[in-house]
Chain A
Amino acid sequence: MNFVLKKLGTLLLTLLILSFVAYAAFEMVGDPVNLILGTNASPEDVAALRESLGLNKPLLVRYLRWLTGFISGDLGSSYIYRIPVSSMIGEKLGVTIFLTLMGFGLTLLFSIPLGVYGARREGSWADRLLTVVNQIVMAVPAFFVAILLMVLFGVALRLFTPGSFVPFEESPGAFLLYMIFPALSIAVPRTAMTAKMLRSSILGEMQQDYVRTAYSRGHNRQTALKAHAFKNALLPVISFMASTMAEMLAGCIVIEQIFSIPGIGRLLMVSISNRDIPVVEAIVMILAVWVMVVHFLGEVAGEMLDPRRRA
């Protein structure tokens, strides 16, 4: 477990540095006092508010207070709405995580069979067609997939009404039906990339000596691929999947906007334009933790599968 601990240490250190840089940067953006009270407030009011928000303390003290709060789940309170940030983020985070995981699940579901099929039938017309289609689909950005799905299923076939998001508590069925389309939008380009990568990774492994040895022991192409090459071919794909997770989170921000989904991405955009710094800081840190943890899990999974990499 030594390598896990080492990686965990790096992870925490990176997050710590990142959190300080992010905090300092956002604090420099602007004084919230003018924003809250307007420009013609009396100096006494300004002083009182500064005191109550703790803005008179030095940056480092404020940062440490904010950090301990963040770790214990207290994300501060919004400058604009004067309510705890955690209550603003709570449900919205759930929606975004659901969307990301659904997109991720769909990507896995489609890309692994497609990649394996392409590798098994290398050079066949089906494989060539897949390669061409993959290359084209890879170039279609998620937001354009979203628009096409909206035109096709929303406007032409009327399977769903764009813009009419239904919360899970209201109707799980309607929620799922609505979320399929945004999830597909982020999954489609990534499916093409993952399938292409898996295919070339398997074909690379099939050239290795151990596969030739497997042939000599009586394996044919199909069984050698299944029993030997596939597992090794997954290794580079796993770290790619980790970055897929991270990219999907970024993609969610745009997709939430298109489908009017009340997720964390929309809250981030609104809070940035409102200059509601505590909300922005909290969301950025949550996104950073998410991205770093996913990469960490990807690396650990890779090293679990491949003892050679445990350095």
Chain B
Amino acid sequence: MIRKLFAKHDNWFFKAGFVITVFMVLLVLIGQIWTPYDPAAMDAAAKAQGPSWAHLMGTDYFGRDIFSRVLEGAGATLMIAFFVVLLGAGLGTLVGALTGYFGGVVDEVLMRICDALTAFPSVLLALIILAVLGPGRLNVIGVLALVFIPSFARIVRTEYARIKKLNYVSLAKLQGIGTPRILLKHILPNILPVLLPAVSIGFNNAVLAEASMSFLGVGVSASEVSLGRMLSDSQNYILRGLPWYAIFVGLTIVLLILGFSLLGEGLRRED
């Protein structure tokens, strides 16, 4: 599967994105099993230090190792992004497939709603809903998945509406193949070239949205770790002349987003 993708998308966007994403995901996975220090362990002897060999990204005011905390925070952020994309893309595909394939009044109404929703910045919408619901990891996942549904539904709907008119689908119908099978086995694989880049960009947007919202204090709750939360903490360090914390957390977010955006760009190109 991966070899096939590489053969089809032989461009540097895809390769670079693949390398960065695999690197970051591996780092996060390792961080789940092992971190250089206990992310919560405080060390009064090593408070607010810059980067060194002992502490790659330095330490915070409590003497906690920032690199270990970044690994933990990136894990939380990636996990949130994963479930947001899984739910958002899954439900979006379901809605898009059904409305695109069957059309009719429901299709019209749903797409009008989608149009109105996608005009509104999804982060703003999520922010308002979340601020009302209250912070927490599950709330973030639910709300972000909800606001991500329309963008996926729209893409998938267009593709299903286009492909259902093709001859091979009519032939499949004539052969008496059931509708669920046509939707899943005959059409879905053919929309992957459009769906995969969208999923990749979805990851990109989910990481960005989680970071923005936790940064504003409406994302994950105060006791949970995430990259956005850490970035918001790190602001206090900047004015006291300790920019390292913010820079390393920010760079981690940039690397995550860069990996996914390059992957998305590479998947869209066919050379």
A interface list, Cβ under 8 A from B: 14, 17-18, 25-26, 29, 135-136, 138-141, 143-144, 147-148, 150-151, 154-155, 162-163, 243, 246-247, 249-250, 253-254, 257-258, 269, 272-273, 280, 284, 287-288, 291-292, 295
How many B residues touch A, CB cutoff 8 Å? 36
Instruction: Evaluate contact between B253 and A144: CB separation under 8 angstroms.
Output: yes
A156 to chain B, nearest CB (A): 8
Chain A residues with CB under 8 Å of B250's CB are 144, 147-148
Complex formed: what's the CA distance from A284 to B124 in Å?
9
Complex formed: what's the CA distance from A280 to B211 in Å?
23
Return 26 A-B CB contacts under 8 Å, by A number.
A25-B132, A29-B132, A139-B257, A139-B261, A140-B254, A144-B231, A147-B231, A147-B250, A148-B250, A150-B238, A155-B239, A155-B241, A162-B239, A246-B119, A246-B121, A249-B124, A250-B123, A250-B127, A253-B124, A253-B127, A254-B212, A254-B215, A269-B216, A269-B218, A280-B128, A291-B120
Chain A residues with CB under 8 Å of B103's CB are none
A233 to chain B, nearest CB (A): 19
Of A151, A155, A292, which is in contact with the most chain B CB atoms at under 10 Å from its CB?
A151
The answer to the question of B172 belonging to the interface, with a C-beta cut-off of 8 Å to chain A, is: no
Contact residues, B224-271 vs A (CB, 8 A): 231, 234-235, 238-239, 241, 243, 246-247, 250, 253-254, 257-258, 261-262, 265
B interface list, Cβ under 8 A from A: 13, 116, 119-121, 123-124, 127-128, 131-132, 204, 208, 211-212, 215-218, 231, 234-235, 238-239, 241, 243, 246-247, 250, 253-254, 257-258, 261-262, 265
Instruction: Evaluate contact between B131 and A273: CB separation under 8 angstroms.
Output: yes
Chain B residues with CB under 8 Å of A288's CB are 120
Chain B residues with CB under 8 Å of A25's CB are 132
Instruction: Evaluate contact between A18 and B239: CB separation under 8 angstroms.
Output: no
Complex formed: what's the CA distance from A284 to B129 in Å?
11
Complex formed: what's the CA distance from A139 to B13 in Å?
13
Complex formed: what's the CA distance from A150 to B240 in Å?
12
Chain A residues with CB under 8 Å of B218's CB are 269, 272
